[in-house]
Chain A
């Protein structure tokens, strides 16, 4: 636990020690606000953050890989992974430590969107329930995306390749539930069970009700399972690298 905590601190310090964290935060805050207002956060004159939450799955699909791409690729490229793996640190501890640092960083980014909450609270009387569940869902979803990014980062030394592969994978998990894709699968003769399977793999489907103030066990389970699953895959890859 202490080792994980030490890695977490080191990673987090690493984020804020470079301009990367600030650039990321600025891009995230500007883009999320821009997309929210463009989708009618003010024009709909309704005191809720629905459009903001709706923008997050797509936005995270680009930003989470950007945060995760350097986690292991950088270590592998510079060779510091050799040093890290010779320390008295197990691979799961290192993976979890790095992952938690990235997740915490996403938490900070989400916290910094609180001026949006203050804005709707000033303009009207928002329902706090959906805002809380929307943020909880966003945080869990960020964890899942980050785990996917971590996995691809462990696969390659090249950060750009890691970023592209992770973005594609995250994009797949976003668009798996879009009506157009499901319609295409239906017309292609995929049976109903297969379509439901596809739909259940989409973050759009899983995050949908959480934006509206409802927490369902299956949605929370999905996000946690995806995180754990991809982190486990990352551990398997790193084990193989260590062995070789």
Chain B
């Protein structure tokens, strides 16, 4: 064998050994994962997810659909690029699931191009399709399929939901295995599910121009989209085991339409059996219309507070609703919203500490818990005349505050008559007894862990009234399974008036999200509950966001100015119309036309300013972009080039000096 042949053989042998070694190492270490150096450990699955995957009884197919080619064709639009980045993250996260599954999770990805089989499959799975062009659709969803054919689909991966992606995927895995319709019981004296009248009867009422009983509350309608919401009688002596969880809203104890001891006992036992509960109590529920409609003469005396004192104290919380005849209301001037104040005229609004628009954070104090999945990502939660929970020193369960006031929040007694007439009384008088506090008040909390019964002596005595307890049930004195309870110190926060915009039912805050998140969390398994938010992988440019915020602030000011000016001129026009009579009609019409012209001209001018603000914003952002691009693409390379030229020139001079020195 010649020397060249030996060399070629040697080279080939080395290369074969190298690549075989890399392939083998690659295969052997596939399940080992890696060192995740991201700040939020974005690629490390949480304990809950690992537990769910480990418990999977059968392999699951996880299919990721993303229109990669479509996005690349559509160009470099900012939003699409964000989706591209999000896609890479989701793909890597699903690979981590695959690694953890060790064969139990089969991950595959599809690019649903126009007219392809993948597109047909995405349509069959009912993934959300957005239009990218004439024919090209944009898909970004996940389908989980079990061996038995059960399919669980996440139709679209929204950018705003990225913190919950692991929760959603793990939930889909669980649902694909244990698929069952979730039953939610609703126990409340309030007509939350609407009246029982049939649609035909309502139609007759409408035709007769009689008032039609209201339909379900909007929050219930939102819940009904995902859950099987069932009414639980207010005097129930047993909570069905068919219910996955229970929502108790405004439990008025021993009053008209209130909860009996038997019902309380039923709730107590439901919780101890591992049932999950969400409770809304209130020192003063404005939505409690009972008194007004049924007995107007006694309406002012009717108590509108609710409590589950016996159960709450056993669970580790105190909740005070009354101080003598006054209501104990939690308030915070920091988050105070404005309510109508007749003492300030027709349009007057005054800040009222009992109407709070709670934000996630204020001056370093966390007010909306960003670690807990129920409240993580919420930007504002509105409360009207809420109470506050106090965590008892002897609490044994784990109690985690979800929503709190700032440390300047405080409880203060307010006259119930004035609260009943809120909007018709001098707000200043209501708030003059409010004093700022020094500790954060808990408005909503999550209780988890093992609990004891509130009825240590056994079921309540049937002699006290109410139906006899069912006898085939064994009395539980402590939890069979860890409980999960979410308590909220306000009922009004889920009413249509507070959670939604009055005219178009649009969401004005995150109150509905809070309830849906809480339900999702209660519905989940213990493993799902353990899955905490993993934080956002997105880190938006704060400098650009500041420019946008500033422009938005200016736009809002301009818009408000336009609206105020319009209102003023409309009022003047209305006044002119009121003054009009046959003698001055012609003169006033001319004046009205002048005012109309002024209004139109001013509106145009304001709108022009509005456009200018938007234009300036775009220019500022583009200008910043140009600066950073030029800095990196031109300035830095130019500096290096200059340095090279300078060094070359310096060396040339040095060499020349040496040569000349040698010659002389």
Binding site for B on A (CB under 8 A): 16, 19, 21-22, 25-26, 29-30, 33-34, 36-40, 42-48, 50, 112, 115-116, 119, 122-130, 132-133, 196-197, 200-201, 209, 212-219, 221-222, 225-226, 228-230, 232-233, 236-237, 239-240, 243-244
A228 to B14, CA, bound (A): 10
CB distance from A91 to the nearest CB of B (A): 13
B-chain residues with CB within 8 Å of residue A37 when the two chains form the complex:
629, 632-633
A178 to B316, CA, bound (A): 58
Besides A127-B39, A222-B22, 10 other CB < 8 A contacts? A29-B632, A42-B625, A123-B543, A126-B539, A127-B40, A127-B539, A129-B38, A225-B25, A226-B22, A229-B19
Q: Does B458 count as interface, using CB distance less than 8 angstroms?
A: no
Q: Cβ of A33 and Cβ of B543 under 8 Å apart?
A: no
Q: Does B121 count as interface, using CB distance less than 8 angstroms?
A: no
CB-CB under 8 A for A43 and B14, given A214-B35, A221-B25, A222-B26: no
A-chain residues with CB within 8 Å of residue B3 when the two chains form the complex:
240, 243-244
Looking across the interface, which residue of chain A has its beta carbon closest to that of B642?
A22
A-chain residues with CB within 8 Å of residue B10 when the two chains form the complex:
233, 236
Q: Does B538 count as interface, using CB distance less than 8 angstroms?
A: yes
CB-CB under 8 A for A50 and B85, given A30-B637, A217-B34, A218-B30: yes
Q: Cβ of A43 and Cβ of B78 under 8 Å apart?
A: yes
A193 to B540, CA, bound (A): 41
A152 to B631, CA, bound (A): 36
A218 to B76, CA, bound (A): 33
Looking across the interface, which residue of chain B has its beta carbon closest to that of A221?
B25
A126 to B539, CA, bound (A): 6
A240 to B2, CA, bound (A): 11
Q: 14 A–B contact pairs at CB < 8 A?
A: A39-B81, A42-B629, A43-B77, A43-B78, A119-B631, A123-B542, A124-B539, A130-B38, A201-B22, A209-B34, A209-B92, A232-B14, A236-B11, A240-B3
CB-CB under 8 A for A47 and B539, given A26-B641, A221-B25: yes
Out of A215, A230, A237, A239, name the residue touching B34 (CB < 8 Å).
Answer: A215
Out of A40, A123, A132, name the residue touching B541 (CB < 8 Å).
Answer: A123
A193 to B6, CA, bound (A): 30
Q: Cβ of A217 and Cβ of B4 under 8 Å apart?
A: no
Binding site for A on B (CB under 8 A): 3-4, 6-7, 10-11, 14-15, 17-19, 21-23, 25-27, 29-30, 32-40, 42-43, 76-78, 81-82, 84-85, 88-89, 92, 538-544, 624-625, 628-629, 631-634, 636-637, 640-641, 643-644, 647-648
CB distance from A128 to the nearest CB of B (A): 7
Out of A34, A213, A214, name the residue touching B633 (CB < 8 Å).
Answer: A34
Looking across the interface, which residue of chain A has its beta carbon closest to that of B91?
A208
A233 to B15, CA, bound (A): 8
B-chain residues with CB within 8 Å of residue A216 when the two chains form the complex:
29, 32-35
Q: Cβ of A26 and Cβ of B640 under 8 Å apart?
A: yes
CB distance from A155 to the nearest CB of B (A): 9
Interface centre among B540, B628, B643 (most CB of A within 10 A): B628
B-chain residues with CB within 8 Å of residue A30 when the two chains form the complex:
633-634, 637
B-chain residues with CB within 8 Å of residue A33 when the two chains form the complex:
629, 632-633, 636-637
CB distance from A125 to the nearest CB of B (A): 5
B-chain residues with CB within 8 Å of residue A119 when the two chains form the complex:
628, 631-632
A-chain residues with CB within 8 Å of residue B19 when the two chains form the complex:
197, 201, 229
B-chain residues with CB within 8 Å of residue A132 when the two chains form the complex:
37
B-chain residues with CB within 8 Å of residue A47 when the two chains form the complex:
539-541
CB distance from B156 to the nearest CB of A (A): 20
Q: Cβ of A218 and Cβ of B29 under 8 Å apart?
A: yes
A221 to B21, CA, bound (A): 9
Which label, helix, strand, loop or mixed, suits the secondary structure of the A interface? Answer: helix
Q: Cβ of B76 and Cβ of A39 under 8 Å apart?
A: yes
CB distance from A122 to the nearest CB of B (A): 7
Q: Cβ of A48 and Cβ of B76 under 8 Å apart?
A: no
Interface centre among A29, A30, A40, A42 (most CB of B within 10 A): A42
CB distance from B625 to the nearest CB of A (A): 5
A112 to B11, CA, bound (A): 35
CB distance from B635 to the nearest CB of A (A): 8
Q: Cβ of B38 and Cβ of A116 under 8 Å apart?
A: no
Q: Cβ of A128 and Cβ of B39 under 8 Å apart?
A: yes
CB distance from B652 to the nearest CB of A (A): 12
Q: Cβ of A214 and Cβ of B644 under 8 Å apart?
A: no
Looking across the interface, which residue of chain A has its beta carbon closest to that of B634?
A30
Q: Cβ of A226 and Cβ of B18 under 8 Å apart?
A: yes
Looking across the interface, which residue of chain B has its beta carbon closest to that of A155?
B11
A22 to B638, CA, bound (A): 10
A218 to B24, CA, bound (A): 9
Looking across the interface, which residue of chain A has its beta carbon closest to that of B42?
A213
A112 to B635, CA, bound (A): 12
CB distance from B524 to the nearest CB of A (A): 27
A232 to B22, CA, bound (A): 16
A-chain residues with CB within 8 Å of residue B538 when the two chains form the complex:
46
B-chain residues with CB within 8 Å of residue A126 when the two chains form the complex:
539
Q: Cβ of A40 and Cβ of B78 under 8 Å apart?
A: yes
Looking across the interface, which residue of chain A has its beta carbon closest to that of B632?
A33
A-chain residues with CB within 8 Å of residue B40 when the two chains form the complex:
127
B-chain residues with CB within 8 Å of residue A232 when the two chains form the complex:
14
A-chain residues with CB within 8 Å of residue B540 when the two chains form the complex:
45-47, 124
CB distance from A206 to the nearest CB of B (A): 9
